[in-house]
Homo-oligomer: A and B are copies of this chain.
Amino acid sequence: MDFAELTTSPLDIGSIARRVVPPECGATVTLDGYVRRFTKGRETLYLEYEAYEAMALKEMEKLIEQAKAEFEIANVGIVHRTGKLEIGESSVVISVASPHRKAAFAACEWLIRELKRTVPIWKKEVYADGEHWVEGDAATATTMGNETNE
């Protein structure tokens, strides 16, 4: 089965990977993104993720649809965590099952790249002496009048 979810609870990679398993596939490929301690040499105390929830879910569902049209894959699960995350905790898990491994690797890689580009979720880094809302790579973002989000 496919799923796109937001949650404020810790992510369990194993159970997410397991939910995408169909009986005809023998493997899943899973991307696990997590909070690193250092960003550009600066120490992060913790992160906060905020989502435009209704739109984020729609965009994640679109990505799943596009991935299933583009790659020969069976099932996709995407779960993104929101709220406060400690160092080392998983922020996002994307799991893809496919009859042939190659497609699962390609789809999973495509999905995380597109998620970072299009899904309306933002990360705030909190340091000992301040905080900063991280802004995405402008060059790859979808902007008004620039219909890359078909």
> Residues on A close to B: CB < 8 A?
12-15, 17, 21, 23-38, 88, 101-102, 105, 108-109, 112-113
Contact A17 B36 (CB under 8 A): no
Task: Please state the number of chain copies in the assembly.
Answer: 2
Interface-central residue, A13, A15, A101, by most chain B CB under 10 Å: A13
Contact B105 A108 (CB under 8 A): yes
Interface of A, helix, strand, loop or mixed by DSSP? mixed
Q: If the complex has contacts A105-B109, A109-B102, A109-B105, are A27 and B17 also in contact, measured as CB distance less than 8 A?
A: no
**Cα A17 to Cα B25 with chains together (Å):** 21
Chain B nearest CB, measured from A110 CB (Å): 10
Contact B21 A26 (CB under 8 A): no
